[in-house]
Structure 1
Amino acid sequence: MSDDIKKYLDGLLQKVSGLYVIQITDRDGVPLLRVSQEKNVDFALMPSFIPTFTTACDQASKLGLGRNKTIISMYSNYQVVQMNKLPLILTFVGAENCNTGHILALEHQVDGYLEDIKQAVTEA
């Protein structure tokens, strides 16, 4: 199944112009699956970056607006879109001019592919 997911994510990577990386991690930032272009964007995938997202989501959820689902971070050369798919974190890294709306639209498309990984993480 992980080969199917990897092929699917690689296809998404090719479809979205300016998208460099799609990574699935657990809540603690342990990488489970990653597809990427040639461009080196490891800063956003450092071990401390993903757990910081989890903390930020928890804090944002305390604003009284409901549970936080997505955080978009814009940098001078990159954008990072992180989606809370507990127990998984889905991270997209793209160019600063990558279509953020297109990335956000992928959320529901990948949900079906994440179920097996969610189950494996939950059972572990």
Structure 2
Amino acid sequence: MTEELKSHLLKLMSTIDGLHAIVVTDRDGVLMLKVANENAPELALRPAFLCAFGLMTEQAGKMGMSQNKSIVSMYSSYQVVQLNKPPLLVSMIADADANTGDILHLENELKDVLTDVAKVIQMS
């Protein structure tokens, strides 16, 4: 099943120019599923970086701002689009000039994959 999910993510990744990685983690940054090409920056794939969004979302909720649904972080060479899909976090790493709207739209395409992975997490 994991290979099927990875294959599906690779297919989705190939539909957007400049998208280098799709990473699904739990709230602590524990890797559940990852697909990346050779252009994905290694530092952005580390658990410490990936779990920061989950921590920020929790803090915003405590300040009365409610939970974030997504966040886009722009850097000089890359952008990171992260989706909050409890109990999962999805991080997508792309070139800075990649179409952010198209990347955000992948949320609809990821629903089935995230449902499958969430079921596995809840069972364990």
How many corresponding residue pairs?
124
Alpha-carbon separation, structure 2, partners of 1:47 and 1:67: 21
Alpha-carbon separation, structure 1, partners of 2:90 and 2:40: 18
The Cα offsets for residues 53-81 of structure 1, whole Å up to 9 and x where unpaired, read as 11111123345443211111000000001
Alpha-carbon separation, structure 2, partners of 1:65 and 1:40: 32
Structure 2 residue 87 is the aligned partner of structure 1 residue 82: no
Q: Hey, what does 1:49 align to over in structure 2?
A: 49
Alpha-carbon separation, structure 2, partners of 1:108 and 1:65: 24
CA contact (8 A) 1:57 1:71 kept: no
Alpha-carbon separation, structure 1, partners of 2:116 and 2:39: 29
Q: Hey, what does 2:72 align to over in structure 1?
A: 72
Alpha-carbon separation, structure 2, partners of 1:93 and 1:5: 18
Alpha-carbon separation, structure 1, partners of 2:108 and 2:94: 19
What's the RMSD between the two structures over aligned residues? 1.4
- SS, match of residue 76 in structure 1: coil
Pairing of 1:5-84 with structure 2 (within 5 A): 5-62=5-62, 64-84=64-84
Alpha-carbon separation, structure 2, partners of 1:64 and 1:40: 35
Bigger drift between 28-37 and 92-101 goes to 28-37
Letter in 1 for 2:39: K
TM normalised by structure 1 equals: 0.92
- SS, match of residue 17 in structure 1: coil
**How far 1:86 sits from its partner (Å)?**
1.1
Residue identity (%): 40
**How far 1:19 sits from its partner (Å)?**
0.3
